[in-house]
A and B are shown apart, each in its own frame.
Chain A
């Protein structure tokens, strides 16, 4: 499995604040990667670094084997739908397609036209008059019709209502299936990621908390509930969060091995449980850091 995005010690500082610190990860090719985290965790910073709109303060990031935005070839290989799906308010849908055709040698005019027709966008309509969902669709069309190898989307559905959200993601999945794209999609809503993605990166407070295949994450994370117990768990079981009442203890753990202790009642977790567990951990300072993260790569 080759990596579409490789980061080593990647960090970005705005004046005094670190928006991203010491991130090392590989994002696999041919996947739809969900980048989740609370607002301000550094998701946009990470994607802007990947398209070269920002430059790293520390470390390196390589996208499809090259430095981001290194030249026209590199730009042609990476599609980007930026946050708030910016479009030119004064330009019509038709003119946006023309813009795409003029600026991208590999532009797929047929695909663009077909998408606009299917989505029911009026070519003569000014982008400023489109609804949020239509504008997002137009921005996605521009991103897809340039025929990139990797498509990056920064919170593409954050301003959309639930129905438009679902339609947008469904449409994205179809395009991905047709074109064998690698996709990285950021969102602060886990259900969006659950619907669309098969690989997950959780970014909290400028750091990567966990990264891995979603099926694997679900198959290795459990909730253990049983009589109160303060002592540590077996070596193979990494505690992500622990909660105790007078009588009872609840652990969220990650383990690659089966759980034999009969004292526990074991439940499987939803993706949301996993993500929230990692998010909550960062704030409470119970970070076990390196081993848990390293193992995920």
Chain B
């Protein structure tokens, strides 16, 4: 049974192994140079790296490879696993040997799953290891250009650590179940691709923020922590004024979830007081680009703004900041992986139940 599974998966897995192997080799060969540069001067490491085209390419290639491996492997290995047998009628051949359908399915899943986990797991670890100097530099506040996202950022998080194992196992289970229901390979592959890609996009937005209780802070807005002011309306218009303030909190490695101004009752302030616009305008004059209806300026003339913020604080306005601190990285990784494995378990359970019914 192991032999048969391997025989049926041989070509596909060789393709994937070759691609993953080539990337891993390139990463291993360039890792030493990256580390040397990191140790030489942390402060200028990222700025120097902007000029290393190949390292820049590998950084992005690593992200793309680790994020795309689960949907691709799940769709092309999981989707046809049963669907192709049903399509060609070979299930009637293989399910009538002296091996029960459930055992057949168990072995197919075990072998396919083991190869998929090995590929995604090793690729994820090599990419994480190679990128670790960059991730550390970004977390230390030196990020810039294409190397500015911390590893907790939704895009990068999926390409670090072990969570790609969760996605590929979940995806494989979803692919097998979809193949069993749709009974045709190509629809099963297409739907599985969509489902796993959607999971990679939606889980970071909807589920991940809640997996570990985020850090919550109510801070007094001041010239020191002000990060940005959003102003709406024409600058010459008397009624125009700031609508949103954001402040800095925590460290550069954090993942900000919410950054909103609340009034003295603790409710989110839908509009900021009108005097604030007047105050700010008096202190700094018009924003730099008057042609724009909406402009965003970065902390203009901080010292001059201080009286405005003092009044804001005295009226009870605070900034409510929610974020996942950098130290939550591994607990988020473990919980998200566990959640995906649990979902995979349910889907596999469904497949074992369904395959013993009328499938023919």
Residues of A within 8 A of B (CB): 48, 51, 53-55, 69, 71-73, 75-76, 78-80, 82-84, 86-91, 95, 98-100, 102-106, 139, 142, 146
> Quick check: A142 and B93 within 8 Å, CB to CB?
yes
Q: What are 18 pairs between A and B in contact, CB < 8 Å? A: A53-B92, A69-B100, A72-B99, A75-B96, A76-B98, A80-B92, A82-B92, A82-B96, A83-B89, A88-B8, A91-B7, A99-B4, A99-B97, A102-B1, A102-B4, A103-B1, A139-B93, A146-B97
Q: Pick the 8 closest A-B CB pairs, nearest first.
A: A82-B92, A103-B97, A76-B98, A86-B89, A53-B360, A80-B96, A104-B98, A103-B99
B353 at interface, CB cutoff 8 A? no
Residues of B within 8 A of A (CB): 1, 3-4, 7-8, 88-101, 103, 357-360
B267 to chain A, nearest CB (A): 56
Complex CA gap A15/B304 in Å reads: 78
Contacts of A86 in B (CB 8 A): 88-90, 92-93
With contacts A75-B99, A104-B98 known, what are 4 further pairs, Cβ within 8 A?
A54-B358, A75-B96, A90-B8, A100-B97
> Quick check: B360 and A88 within 8 Å, CB to CB?
no
Complex CA gap A73/B103 in Å reads: 13
Known contacts A55-B357, A89-B88; is-contact A106 B98 (Cβ 8 Å): yes
B76 to chain A, nearest CB (A): 15
Complex CA gap A265/B279 in Å reads: 122
Q: Which of B3, B94, B99, B360 has the most CB of A within 10 A?
A: B360
B343 to chain A, nearest CB (A): 28
B96 to chain A, nearest CB (A): 4
Complex CA gap A186/B126 in Å reads: 58
Contacts of A142 in B (CB 8 A): 93, 97
> Quick check: A48 and B360 within 8 Å, CB to CB?
yes
Residue of A nearest to B359 (CB): A53
Residue of B nearest to A78 (CB): B96
B259 to chain A, nearest CB (A): 56
B22 to chain A, nearest CB (A): 26
- A103 is contacted by which of B8, B91, B98, B358 (Cβ under 8 Å)? B98
Contacts of B101 in A (CB 8 A): 69
Contacts of A84 in B (CB 8 A): 89
- B100 is contacted by which of A72, A87, A91 (Cβ under 8 Å)? A72
Known contacts A88-B90, A102-B3; is-contact A146 B98 (Cβ 8 Å): yes
Contacts of B360 in A (CB 8 A): 48, 53-54
